[in-house]
Amino acid sequence: MIQFERFTLENGLRVIFHQDTTTPLAVVNTLYDVGARDESPEKTGFAHLFEHLMFGGSVNIPDFDAPLQHAGGESNAFTSNDITNYYDILPAQNIETALWLESDRMLSLGFTPKSLETQRSVVIEEFKQRYLNQPYGDVWLKLRPLAYQVHPYRWATIGKEIKHIEDAQMEDVKAFFAKYYNPRNAILCIAGNFELEQVKTLVQKWYGDIPGGIRPGRMLPQEPVQRAYREETIERKVPSDAFYYAFKMPERKSMDYYVADMLSDALGRDKSSRLYASIQKEQKLVTEIHAYVTGSLDNGLLIVDGKLSPDVTFEQLHKALWKELDLIQAEMISETELNRLKNKIRTAKEFQEQGLLNRAMNLAYFELLGDADGINQEQFVYTAIQSEDIQKMANEILNPDNCSLLKVKAI
């Protein structure tokens, strides 16, 4: 059970406080409700580029990292298709340094041309390092637009192409900040050995006078229901053929999300999972195979991916895979298998929640979903799932009409 308190400032900033009396550290986690899905199709990769610029100095403080390091702390951030999340970890006695820095960059950035030029180059190198200079590195740049035709999930957080990053202008940066970076669009989570009143005083002190702004509306084009199988083959200089089956699945806020998540575990999480045991170990058609979910807020994807063994064709794999997918639709999974999945989820959750940072991040994320207490409810949702729920979900989503397949052909 993770305890927390919540309060809201007059400017609309939502604050979660998690007390941990055992740690000498503090975490200040700030989630902004903006991600790559909020970008315009002509200016993709912007939310992520912007995340880099958030470290380039704010209106009253020329450098973000140095004062934090001077206080014994460190900081990082990530951008997903849905959110942008920033965190600082530092000795608890210096928490004010983090609040000073975070509140100032919520107030306004420095917007220096040098910062934009440098981070543009850094992000382009990141694009190369992660997406272009790795075997299979560009798969998600191809799979997303195959699976999504309308929804902004059709591009990756790094952006559709390097050109969009090259073209970013300072006026775009300022407009993006004005629209999304304000107290009303953020959730602040503070964790550590503090008292609630102390946290309220500090947060009021540093964030209280920031203008609340307007919570930006979000009207995203909704992806129409997929009604036909899609397939695309790309040829790449890679050592072996690879496959990526993407099935549309329920949105993050729905109870069915958890069922689909467990279905993916049954298919391909561990070495006792169905696809691993059957297709890799027994039939030896692949050298690796996995199933997992993207976990996105809007309708996500359940992915089955892997690499073919030498001399095995895509058709052989396709047949064997659909046999397994048909089986999980036709027959309910056993009580033993169900318990195995639940036990793994329970252990993983217990380990995840050991870390102060994980707890702080997850509390902010669940608050975004609607209620930070979701962090405590999640396990009951998983526990309540029955074999028939998984079978029903399998029948709903594991259909060819709901599937997009990307093949990477080795040349």
Partner 1 sequence: MIQREQAPPIFPLEKISFIEPHIFDITQSVKLYWMEAVKDETTRVELHFDAGTIRGDKKLASFVNSLLLSGTAEKTSTQIHEDLDGLGAFIDHEIAQEIAIVSLYCLRENVEAAMAILLNAIENVAFHPNEVSDLLRERKQHFLVSSEKVNILVRRAFQKQLFSNLPNYSRQLQLEDLEEVSIPDLKRFHNEFYLQGLTKVVVVGNLESAYIDRLIDAVGSWSKLAKPEFESEIVHIPGRLHVEKSDAVQTAIRMGIPLFNKKHTDFLDFQILQTILGDYFGSRLMSNIREDKGYTYGIGSGLAEANHMGYFIIATEVGKDVAEATLTEIRNEIEKLKTEPVPAEELGLVKNYILGQLLKSADGPNAMMDLFMAVQLHGKDFDFYNDAIRHVQQITPERLQQLANQYFDWDNFTIVTAGAQV
Provide, rounded to whole angstroms, the least separation between the CB of residue 331 and partner 1: 17
**Token pair for 383:** 């526990």
Nearer to partner 1, 105 or 160 (CB): 105
Provide, rounded to whole angstroms, the least separation between the CB of residue 343 and partner 1: 3
Nearer to partner 1, 60 or 254 (CB): 60
Provide, rounded to whole angstroms, the least separation between the CB of residue 192 and partner 1: 11
Nearest to 299 by CA among 243, 265, 268, 253: 253
Provide, rounded to whole angstroms, the least separation between the CB of residue 211 and partner 1: 14
Provide, rounded to whole angstroms, the least separation between the CB of residue 130 and partner 1: 8
Provide, rounded to whole angstroms, the least separation between the CB of residue 53 and partner 1: 12
In angstroms, the Cα distances linking 267 to 119, 283, 322, 346, 355 are: 40, 15, 12, 18, 29
**What number of other Cβ atoms are within 10 A of residue 389's Cβ?**
19
Nearer to partner 1, 2 or 223 (CB): 2
Provide, rounded to whole angstroms, the least separation between the CB of residue 280 and partner 1: 8
Nearer to partner 1, 195 or 270 (CB): 270
Nearer to partner 1, 106 or 143 (CB): 106
Nearer to partner 1, 256 or 288 (CB): 288
Nearer to partner 1, 107 or 301 (CB): 107
255-288 burial: b if 16+ Cβ within 10 Å, else e: ebbbbbbbbbbbbbbeeebbbbebbbeeeebbee
Distance between CA 33 and CA 48 in Å, rounded?
13
Provide, rounded to whole angstroms, the least separation between the CB of residue 143 and partner 1: 18
Provide, rounded to whole angstroms, the least separation between the CB of residue 367 and partner 1: 23
Nearer to partner 1, 221 or 239 (CB): 239
Nearer to partner 1, 26 or 246 (CB): 26
Provide, rounded to whole angstroms, the least separation between the CB of residue 214 and partner 1: 23
Nearest to 145 by CA among 238, 246, 46, 228: 246
Nearer to partner 1, 149 or 272 (CB): 272
Residue 375 neighbours by CB under 8 Å, 6+ apart: 2, 359, 362, 363, 366
